[in-house]
Amino acid sequence: MQTTDSKPRDKTAIRNAATVIVIRDRQTRPRVLMGQRGAKAAFMPNKFVFPGGAVDAADAEVPLAAPLPALCAARLNEDSAPGLDHALAVAAIRELWEETGQIVGAKGIWPDAIPADWLHYAETGHLPAADAMQFVFRAITPPGRPRRFDARFFLLDAEALMSDPDDFSRAEDELSHLQWIALDEVRNFDLPFITEVVLAEVTARVSDGMPPASVPFFRNDDEASLFLRLHGRPQSDD
């Protein structure tokens, strides 16, 4: 997880974040891609997590070869800043690339100057593309944690990857022990609470490729913890 911002961050502020749940072998023995955070990490040390991280300011300016499905975009923008869906999708693709070396995108040439964080990605001949990602969960880190994130979780089938799903040679070192973990074994690993909640949602949807009827939103603020549902409706062109 990198950042290109030069200003010091308020570590108590809630930052927008994106996480990617890549799933393979849906019809046989489903597995998800996870890695272990370092022992010295300020946020969730030693835990097995999905690839993901905070949205950078530059993510809003990165072009997408294909946008998110309209329904997913509408749900992402519900109870959020208008137009945030683009930056979240870009952040999800960037974080997956940085932490696992896996490519979500489409063959193409970048129309403008390539941001520094994307140089190695661009060298593969791809532009990021979000049309294969499905928004399935949202959660805000509870108060009192050393870092707080408003995280959106995207589900992606491994068949949509433009890279070898077993090749992690281009990954950075933020996550170790990258591996595909079977859903029927994943709870044997050291998982954050919210990851267990998300896994339950994914397990229930493993055989269904359609968007969920609504997206769960685990909202934690200083007053209360609420479990909401995001419905969202794509805006018409009228």
Tens-place pLDDT, residues 99-149: 999 999 999 999 989 999 999 999 999 999 999 999 999 999 888 888 899
Which residues, 6+ apart, have CB-to-CB distance to 41 below 8 Å?
A: none
pTM over 0.75: yes
Pairwise CA distance, residues 110 & 145, whole Å: 39
Q: Is the pLDDT of residue 181 over 80?
A: yes
* Spatial contact of 47 and 223, defined as CB atoms under 8 Å apart: no
Pairwise CA distance, residues 141 & 15, whole Å: 10
Structure tokens at 64: 């997408």
**Nearest Cα to 152, choosing from 66, 72, 41, 232?**
72
The alpha carbon of 35 is separated from its chain's Cα centroid by a whole number of angstroms, namely 14
Query: Phi/psi of residue 16, each to 5°?
Result: -65, 140
Tens-place pLDDT, residues 57-82: 999 999 999 999 999 999 999 999 98
* Spatial contact of 106 and 126, defined as CB atoms under 8 Å apart: yes
Amino acid at 159: E
Pairing of strands 225-230, 215-220: antiparallel
Domains of the chain: residue spans and CATH = 35-230 (3.90.79.10)
Q: What mean pLDDT is reported for the chain?
A: 89
Bridge partners (DSSP) listed for residue 36: 48, 176
Q: Is the pLDDT of residue 48 over 50?
A: yes
* Spatial contact of 151 and 17, defined as CB atoms under 8 Å apart: yes
Q: For the chain, what percentages of helix, strand and coil (3-state, to nearest 5) are there?
A: 25, 30, 50
- Mean pLDDT computed over 3-24: 77
